[in-house]
Amino acid sequence: MRHPDPSTGVPLHMQVEEDLRERIETGEWRAGERIPAEDQLCEAYRVSRITMRQAIGRLVDRGLLIRARGKGTFVRDTAVTAGERRVTSFTAELAQLGMAAGATVLENGLVAADQPTALALGVAEGDLVVRIHRLRTGDGKPIGLQTSYLPGARFPGLHTVDLGDRSMYELLRSQYGVTPTEAVETFTVGGIKGRDARLLDVPPRSCGFYAERIAYDKVGPFERTVSVMRGDRYRIRFALRNP
């Protein structure tokens, strides 16, 4: 443990945050373990409660810590870590990590394609698309919200199918003969708001991943999915190599 040094010019809460982060990453406090109470940490680091709350708050926002009301602050529990990226379903991705995927269908119906969806799927704006909005879980705990758009003309009757906990990609493969070949994904980071925060069981403005996936088969684009994933339960890791 390093005591913050006011003479460095680096804000004290950032120095404390960095030291706490190192203690977590080196395994001093393990996943699921409660860290010492704020007053104990204040005494150990010789900083004010406000400084300590700022440091802890930043680690909560970054998904390293999680607060449990009335219980304390804990090192984030095991998260879904997306490693090597393949064109697989959420169900298959969690199965590879030894977790049971689940889903609650919140909406399933036909809607008119807006401009982003029309451009992504290669259909005309206003054409009917299937919109499927689901709450995704891992081992029974909320992980993300996914809204998928698929061309209504290519998938007749899909809006009447009860997906339940089924893999949508497996359904598309078995009933429509669609096999994904590639996908383009874009990730951004932002606060989770309103109804989404309630459904994901996180405080409003908690940090989350926002993702858009456009998936293709041999015919062309068949799916646009927009997701928001809990920042404390979902991580992305890429292996980068030079040729």
SS3 51: helix
Q: Which of 115, 147, 169, 120 is closest to 228 using CA atoms?
A: 147
User: Does residue 1 form part of some domain?
Assistant: no
Residues 124 and 231 in one domain: yes
Are 2 and 44 contacting, i.e. CB atoms less than 8 angstroms apart? no
Residues 170 and 71 in one domain: no
Range of the domain at 44: 6-75
Residues 108 and 220 in one domain: yes
pTM of the full predicted structure?
A: 0.62
Residues 90 and 161 in one domain: yes
SS3 136: strand
Residues 27 and 139 in one domain: no
CATH label of the domain that carries residue 230 = 3.40.1410.10
Q: What is the pLDDT of residues 63-113, one digit of tens each?
A: 678 887 788 898 875 454 444 445 455 665 655 555 677 889 999 999 999
d(CA 60, CA 212): 24
pLDDT of 92 reads 59
Residue 127 pLDDT grade (very low, low, confident, very high; cuts 50, 70, 90):
very high
Residues 152 and 63 in one domain: no
Residues 136 and 226 in one domain: yes
Residues 66 and 92 in one domain: no
> Can you name the residues that pair with 147 across neighbouring β-strands?
133, 226
Element counts in the chain: helices (H) and strands (E): 7, 10
Residues 200 and 150 in one domain: yes
d(CA 224, CA 75): 34
Q: Which of 30, 59, 75 is the last residue of a domain?
A: 75
Residues 67 and 89 in one domain: no
Q: How many structural domains is the chain composed of?
A: 2
CATH label of the domain that carries residue 51 = 1.10.10.10
Residue 163 pLDDT grade (very low, low, confident, very high; cuts 50, 70, 90):
confident
Q: What is the pLDDT of residues 198-215, one digit of tens each?
A: 999 989 888 898 989 899
Residues 70 and 88 in one domain: no
Residues 175 and 215 in one domain: yes
CB-side exposure of 23: number of CA atoms within 13 Å?
20
User: Does residue 242 form part of some domain?
Assistant: no
pLDDT of 60 reads 82
d(CA 164, CA 127): 26
Mean pLDDT for the chain overall: 85
pLDDT of 85 reads 46
